[in-house]
Amino acid sequence: MDIRNLHQIVYTIGRITPSGIDLLGTGFLINKQGTFVTAAHVTNNDDNNLVVALNPNTNINTYQDTSDTRVSYINVKIEKIDPIRDICILKSGSDILSNIHIGSTDNINVSEHLGIIGYPHCTQGRNVLTYQDTTVGAKILIEASFIKSKHIVLNIQTRPGQSGSPVFRESDSMLVAMIIGSYAPNSSGSISLGGVDPHTLHQTTHAVSAEYILQMLQ
């Protein structure tokens, strides 16, 4: 699949509220019927009124009309969650699927070019599908609950709406990782400036290896 056409499988994840759909982050369609993936923290482990928003502005190669706020959606339920690696599998009643190839961070090297497609500012109401180019800064192991998992550090600053965004190898459009978010050290006495933790204001982002998505599908 040409990376320029990967926008066709990337959507926003939202929740129906009395005032409309509250957009929570990014998700993407995988090569299994009616199945989507996002970061677990995007859903807050709660599938009550959870939806995948099918936005009208889905062609990243054309001008996206920011005044067009129409949103159709399909209902989804949480099928599986990996709380250690922050991965959530969502299932819909739809028969749609993609033909992406799921790989691993094992398949890439430091300094290699990768592409990210997502909705950086959807959580603030700016629903614009965005492509970003970045490079791999480091390959790291992160331990949680005594389990070490493979991650990569990307040389880019991402926004909250990009949580759950797919990360592709530019050379062949292989899915290699999923955006988790900016590194925020565990510390006491942290402050918030305009809703932003200053600890996250740096030019790196963590992404978890896509191989764990594949394991959850087996």
> Looking at the whole model, is its pTM more than 0.85?
yes
Task: Classify residue 98: in a domain, yes or no.
Answer: no
Same-domain check for residues 207 and 109: yes
Same-domain check for residues 153 and 193: yes
Same-domain check for residues 73 and 155: no
Question: Which among 30, 65, 92 is the end of a domain?
Answer: 92
d(CA 13, CA 76): 9
Q: Give the count of alpha carbons within 13 A of 27, CB side only.
A: 33
Domain count, the chain: 2
Same-domain check for residues 141 and 65: no
Same-domain check for residues 16 and 78: yes
Task: Classify residue 100: in a domain, yes or no.
Answer: no
CB-CB contact of 53 with 23 (8 Å):
yes
Same-domain check for residues 144 and 200: yes
d(CA 203, CA 70): 33
Return the pLDDT at 201: 46
Same-domain check for residues 119 and 199: yes
Return the pLDDT at 184: 63
What CATH number should be reported for the domain holding residue 75?
2.40.10.10
Task: Classify residue 31: in a domain, yes or no.
Answer: yes
Per-residue pLDDT of the chain (218 residues; tens, 9 = 90+): 455 566 689 999 999 999 989 999 999 999 999 999 999 999 999 999 999 998 665 678 889 888 888 788 999 999 999 999 999 999 999 999 999 999 999 999 999 999 999 999 999 988 899 999 999 999 999 999 999 999 999 999 999 999 999 999 988 999 999 999 877 665 444 444 445 454 544 568 999 999 999 999 98
Its domain, for residue 204, covers 105-217
d(CA 102, CA 24): 24
d(CA 175, CA 20): 32
| Strands of the chain, DSSP E | 10-17, 20-29, 35-39, 50-54, 72-82, 87-92, 113-118, 130-144, 147-154, 166-169, 175-181, 205-209
Return the pLDDT at 24: 97
CA angle 56, 60, 62 (to 5 degrees): 85
Same-domain check for residues 201 and 165: yes
